[in-house]
Amino acid sequence: AERARSSTALIRGDGEKLLEEGHRMAAQEEALASGLDAMDVEDPAFADEDGDVLVEDDDDDLDLAPPSDDDDDDDMPEDAATTSAPLEEDDKAAKTPDDAWVRLASHGDSVYATALTSAAGVVLAATGAGDDVARLTRIPIESPHNLTTLVLTGHSDSVTSLNFSHDAELLASGSYDGTAKVWLAATGSLLRTLEGPADIEWLTWHPRGDALLAGSGDGTTWLWHGRTGECLRVFVGHDGPVTSGFFTCDGNGIVTGSADGSVRAWAPKKGTCKHAFQLRAPVAAVTGHPSDPALAIAALDIDASSLAGSGGDDAPPSQHTQPPLGAAVLHLKTKKTIAAMPLTSDSACTTASLAPTVAWAATGDDAGRLRVSDYGHTIGADGAAALRHDMGVSAAAIVEARWHAREPRVTVATADGHVRGVDARTGTVLYALHNGGRAADLVLAMTYLSTNTDDDFVLTAGDDKLPRLFRVRRAADTSFVKVLASSSE
């Protein structure tokens, strides 16, 4: 984890130069404003195939109540949160299995970005690396050995981010060279090259349209029409690198997080900032709720030893004398921090996500601990979310923790290359997947795909340059079975 942070710091480098670039982009934004003011609401970037508008700026009434957990809490004991010691690592055995369903083509350098989607019986897996190359692999689910891989070249620096469009027709790649490229997923042909930012930290597609959003180390966030290449908006306001961002699930809002310690909610069509949450710690990641456009969670890149007793302007007043925040649940409509996840150790929070069906949040840290909190129930004046589980998943840092689309379970990837599924109701580990004992090679990226079938797919990649795609299937008795390529044909 420290190596990854150091690499990012080196690449971001000259802060003053980047801020000058940000001022240049601000001037460019003013030039764009006149054209955007005349932009019709029915712009195709914000419309689906039926012509329905996907992005609006009006503040229609929303259901602001957090999702109820009554239906999913029947099997959960009513006693205090469970806490467990780190699990014994299976890879301490003489030989650790490699549970990968498919091992993808190796890159020439560390892999920094992964993406997954599925369509018509095929899994599409994308990887991007320090060799300036992205790879797109098509894996037939019924015959994974018949996979085909396309090499996507054209970037002149590390590929840092990848994302598939909602319909799986387009793949976007972002690079430290300052360009985003849009590729046809069916053929690997380059459709557009989008320019403007100093570099690209991340990118993501609109949930139902062709708008592409990307954040830069120069403090700006860019919005393009992915198919035409038209720049629709440049968002200026952050004073540091924009480390993370997303479209709200209804497509009507944009949220970004920055190393300047703020999370900003934007009006996409107007380009204005609706509110800035001041969290007073670098934002490592911010993600939205899968079905409630008013909710977001931010993971803060700070540990208790470096900022004891600090809080944010949007946190409860007592937070200034309490342990610092590891993560915070934000309400974008009321502009309030509705629940806090204080740090309970000297470890920094690395990932945070919200459950789709219950008012729970999962956070992971660089000491390998997974915490499941109930943000629908807060404790004390500082508004801390009730802790349900605090468990040691690994001795290695947690890279990602992602919820299943329909069930209260979390898939966790750790830097030592292992993947585990955890029942968030009980804290039970449902399955563990191993990478063949290559713990010395840090995993830097993970993408989780929960499908409409009983199959889950997890793509991991990192320093060993060899991406691994894992597959887990729910059996008839509701247990989970790891699937190897030889058993899936």
Q: How far is CA 284 from its chain centroid?
A: 10
Backbone angles phi, psi at 463, to 5 degrees: -65, -25
* pLDDT confidence of residue 451: 80
**HSE of 207 in the Cβ direction (CA atoms, 13 Å)?**
17
Q: How far is CA 343 from its chain centroid?
A: 21
Render pLDDT for 386-424 as a digit per residue (tens, 0 to 9): 999 999 999 899 999 999 998 899 999 999 989 999 999
Q: How far is CA 382 from its chain centroid?
A: 27
Taking the whole predicted model, whether its pTM rises above 0.85 is answered as no
Digit-by-digit pLDDT tens for the chain (489 residues) are 444 444 444 334 444 443 454 444 444 445 444 434 433 334 544 555 455 444 544 444 333 344 444 444 444 333 345 444 444 444 444 467 889 999 999 999 999 999 999 988 999 999 999 999 999 999 999 999 999 999 999 999 999 999 999 999 999 999 999 999 999 999 999 999 999 999 999 999 999 999 999 999 999 999 999 999 999 999 999 999 999 999 999 999 999 999 999 999 999 999 999 999 999 799 999 999 999 999 999 999 875 444 444 444 554 444 444 567 899 999 999 999 999 998 877 788 999 999 999 999 999 999 999 999 999 999 888 899 999 999 999 989 999 999 999 889 999 999 998 999 999 999 999 999 988 876 557 889 999 998 877 889 999 999 999 999 999 988 776 778 888 754 433
Render pLDDT for 334-369 as a digit per residue (tens, 0 to 9): 999 999 998 877 788 999 999 999 999 999 999 999
* pLDDT confidence of residue 245: 98
CA pair distance 79, 88, nearest whole angstrom: 25
